[in-house]
Amino acid sequence: MCKFRLDRLLMSCLWMVTCVMPAYAQEVQVLNLKVDLLQNPMLQVVNGYPVVGGETAMGEQTLVCNHQPLLGWELSSTGHGAMQSAYRIMVATHPDSLEKGIADVWDSGEVKSAESTNILYGGAPLTPNSDYAWQVRVWKQDGTPTEWSPISRFRTASTLHDYQTAFYPLQKTDEMPQRVSVAGNEVRADFGRASFGQLRLTLTSLKAVDTLTVRLGEAINADGTINRKPGGTIRYAEYRLPLQRGRHTYQLQFKPDRRNTGPQAVKMPDYIGEVLPFRYVELEGFTGTLEPGDLIRATVHYPFDDFAAHFESSDSVLNAVWELCKYSIKATSFAGIYVDGDRERIPYEADAYINQLCHYNVDKEYTMARRSHEYLLHNATWPTEWILQSVLMAYNDYLYTGDIRSAKHHYDDLKAKLLLPLREANGLISTRKGKQTKELMSAVHYRGDSLRDIVDWPHTGGFGMVGNGETDGFVFTDYNAVVNAFHYKALQDMAKLAATLGYDADATLFSKKAAETYQAFQLLLWDDRAGAYRDGLDTDHPALHTNMMALAFGLVPKQHADRVAAFIRSRGMACSVYGSQFLMDAIYEAGDADYGLSLLASQDDRSWYNMIRAGSTITMEAWDNKYKPNQDWNHAWGAVPANVIPRKLMGVEPLEPGWDVFRVRPQTSSLEWASVTVPTIKGAVEVSCRQEGSEYVVELTVPGNTVAQVELPYASKRRPLVTINGESARIEAKDGMLKFPSLNGGSYRIVIERR
């Protein structure tokens, strides 16, 4: 959206909200400054531990890599309608200069604009290996300026680029066991949750020669001992530790695993060292006394704000599922790039797509998702649909950040990921028609000979222990319905990116081909007798996957929506933890809030709660060991509720890039109450919903410089009484939803009184 359109939209929405809201005095503050999407661009670590005030040459540090970094900030307000009309940025070589009002690098002057997150630096050329300080003030809608923001700083890299993604160094957090017990000469320690980390021990030995056996693991037996043969890729390790006489600190050195340190794996950096996922520790042969702090697990993770996101509801199972999934995103960030778990530590597009959506909803962090996506653009994997998901990730990156630079820089790579050379005259693509060429493999940066359709994973021993495993018996044909659903969604997303970048001919072409695929889907794959879509042209079989992908990606016309939704309900959770992302999206797209909640809070063996019951504290690669015997217990693609709960159940999603406009459409079903905090690049969105007798109460906090479009479910035929902050409001009622006037930055209490 061009800045003129953005400014006009915000002014229009401000007019709309002031028509229904009384005027309030507001105190607007500028805070949380960001450089190239980094909120802490001066983070520096030594051996993984953050340091403050160190010399710039020591340790690993966050560096701004671009000639023209992107600057942004948030607005905080105590009133309503907190919108920006102009800004002024000052950049200097030292904070002291800014304190004196001197900008010796760049003074933007007063710029009439509502933009607050995507402003390219426009001053004198930045010098490599240099520190800079900057601050900003804005003008409110009434023309009055705010105070200057706190001063923020950043340091440039030794080489600057036209475009490169900045990222944080990995860091360590020291953790003590939550429980320690001693039985004879054996010590058992439980850290409460598994993490990828290292173990440091401070022990006292009275002997000149003494040896300790140290065991570490993710799973325990019924008697509380560590499971030494947990199966699959659930981790167990054992080390012999010679002790010196006296009191000493020992750092256990983990042996690299041959598979997860192979050529395709993401290696741990030298300043961190090798890590192991473990929760439990046993010390056999130790006869001394343990003091608090003698056993330390150094957990490795990407910088993570534990308080950025929050969810709580009246359902304790749902709450436990949320905590499991939220923590899983932090715990699996240990490599700095999204990987598929500990068995391989290899990035895959399908894992990264889910990880990206989850990460956006549990922390205000965008660089790890972008770095992972860009890595996969040039290190593609073999499944056809996963190649296409690179386009979906690129669009998500733009939607959640408002920053188009990555898509612009990698535009040709993204075009190749559409797999247009595989299209046939019928509007569908196929990997079986002899069109896979070396040129195509090179264009999508896949180093193998050919792509293969996957649908879901694994393909054996899954749902009901029959058929094609987690694919619900999907029938693979020349024209794969699931692959083409992804192709359709990729074409739509790429058309939006092309239009934003000014590639109008491409945008028209992609939209045209998307329309052709849509028509082919209806004409060739719809089975009116079954009330569902077929898996392909040469089969009558309708799998869950075909229909949930079609519904999730907008391929189901209104006249078929109820029948497709009913078919989806009839199949249950006949998909893997990966497939559940698209199942949940489809369910909430259909407005089936009751069914959505029943799956999120399910206690069946194919549920997120079952992961907790099985003993895992990080989401698993599969629903249970019996569905994938070689699975691991640390797969982020199993953390789907981390994004579905905020995005769908609580209904908080961006509609315009950079959260300029977002929707609040809670579908809380039978929950008595629920509240969520969703971090965004413009500040936190807070929503709480509560049934209070005949009233349905929604409390909402809208970040400054954003517009919220609120839609609330309402089943009665009689128009309800509605108030916003105590003032009566006329609300549009349509299709079982109440649609509110747009709301600008501020806090709102909406009360719907049923009649």
How many other CB atoms sit within 10 Å of the CB of residue 271? 14
Q: Average of pLDDT values for 297-311? A: 98
Pick the CATH number of 3-161 from 3.40.640.10, 3.20.20.140, 3.90.1310.10, 2.60.40.10: 2.60.40.10
Dihedral of CA atoms 422, 424, 428, 434 in degrees, nearest 10, equals: -40
Three-class SS state of 547: helix
Q: What are all long-range contacts of 591-597, with beta carbons under 8 Å and residues at least 24 apart?
A: 591/667, 591/713, 591/736, 592/565, 593/649, 593/667, 593/668, 593/669, 593/713, 594/669, 594/670, 595/569, 596/644, 596/648, 596/649, 596/667, 596/669, 597/315, 597/318, 597/649, 597/668, 597/669, 597/670, 597/671
* pLDDT surpasses 50 at 546: yes
Say yes or no to pLDDT of 6 above 50. Answer: no
Least confident range from 82-86, 507-511, 560-564, 677-681: namely 82-86
Lowest mean pLDDT among 596-600, 643-647, 715-719: 715-719
Higher pLDDT, 390 or 15: 390
pLDDT over 80 (residue 88):
yes
Q: What local confidence, expressed as pLDDT, does residue 566 receive?
A: 98
Asked if residues 454 and 386 have their Cβ atoms less than 8 Å apart, the reply is yes
In Å, how far from its chain's centre is CA 392? 13
Mean pLDDT lowest among 82-86, 120-124, 313-317: 82-86
- Can you name the CATH fold of 310-649? Glycosyltransferase (1.50.10)
Q: Are 133 and 91 in contact (CB under 8 A)?
A: yes
Is pLDDT above 90 for 79? Answer: no
CB distance 372 to 359 below 8 Å? no
Each residue of 203-257: pLDDT tens digit? 999 887 789 999 999 999 999 999 999 999 999 999 999 999 999 999 999 999 9
Q: With 90 as the cut, is the pLDDT of residue 8 above it?
A: no
* Least-confidence region, from 323-332, 452-461, 491-500, 599-608: 452-461
Whole-angstrom distance, CA of residue 152 vs CA of residue 77: 20
CATH fold for domain 661-753: Maltose phosphorylase, domain 3 (2.60.420)
**Mean pLDDT in the chain?**
93
In the chain, where the domains are located: 3-161, 171-301, 310-649, 661-753
Residue 80 has what pLDDT? 77
Residue 129 to residues 94, 158, 749: CA-CA distances in angstroms?
14, 5, 49
pLDDT at 589 over 50: yes
Tokens representing 433 are 């028609």
Mean pLDDT on 322-331:
98
Helix, strand, or coil here: 538? coil
Arithmetic mean of pLDDT, 453-472: 71
Cα 625 to Cα 612: distance, rounded to the nearest angstrom: 13
Q: What are phi and psi of 57, to 5 degrees?
A: -85, -10
pTM value is 0.95
pLDDT at residue number 519:
98
Question: Between vectors from CA 628 to CA 627 and to CA 629, what angle results, nearest 5°?
Answer: 115
Which positions ≥6 away from 505 have C-beta within 8 Å? none
Class of the CATH-defined domain 171-301: mainly beta
Each residue's pLDDT tens digit, 24-47: 445 899 999 999 999 999 999 999
pLDDT surpasses 60 at 155: yes
Residue 57: the pLDDT is: 57
Tell whether the model's pLDDT for residue 693 goes beyond 90. Answer: no
Predicted local confidence at residue 26, as pLDDT: 59
CB 120 within 8 A of CB 165: no
Confidence of residue 289 (pLDDT cuts 50, 70, 90): confident
Instruction: Report the candidate in 351, 360, 386 with the shortest Cα–Cα distance to residue 684.
Output: 360
pLDDT surpassing 70 at residue 14: no
Give the tens place of pLDDT for each residue, 702-749: 999 999 999 998 877 777 899 999 999 888 888 888 999 999 999 999
Q: Would you call 237 helix, strand, or coil by DSSP? A: strand
Whether residue 600 contacts residue 313, with contact meaning beta carbons closer than 8 Å, is answered with no
| 3-class secondary-structure state, position 441 | helix
Query: With contact defined as beta carbons under 8 Å apart, do 336 and 167 qualify?
Result: yes
Predicted local distance difference test score (pLDDT) of residue 13: 40
Rounded distance, CA 423 to CA 445, Å?
19
Q: In the chain, what is the straight-line distance between the N-terminal and C-terminal CA atoms, in Å?
A: 41
Handedness of CA 14, 17, 20, 24 (dihedral sign): negative
Please give the helix or strand (H or E) that residue 267 lies within, else none: none
d(CA 680, CA 740): 22
pLDDT of residue 68: 98
What is the C-alpha separation between 266 and 286, in angstroms, rounded?
36
List of residues 6+ apart from 123 with CB closer than 8 A: 91, 105, 106, 107, 108
Residue 468 — very low, low, confident or very high, per pLDDT cuts 50/70/90? low
The arithmetic mean of pLDDT across residues 493-503, rounded, is 98
C-beta separation of 621 from 577 below 8 A = yes
Residues 6+ apart with CB under 8 A from 582: 545, 548, 549, 552, 575
Predicted confidence (pLDDT) per residue in 173-186, tens digit: 999 999 999 988 89
Radius of gyration, alpha carbons of the chain? 27
Residue 277 to residue 376: CA distance in whole angstroms: 24
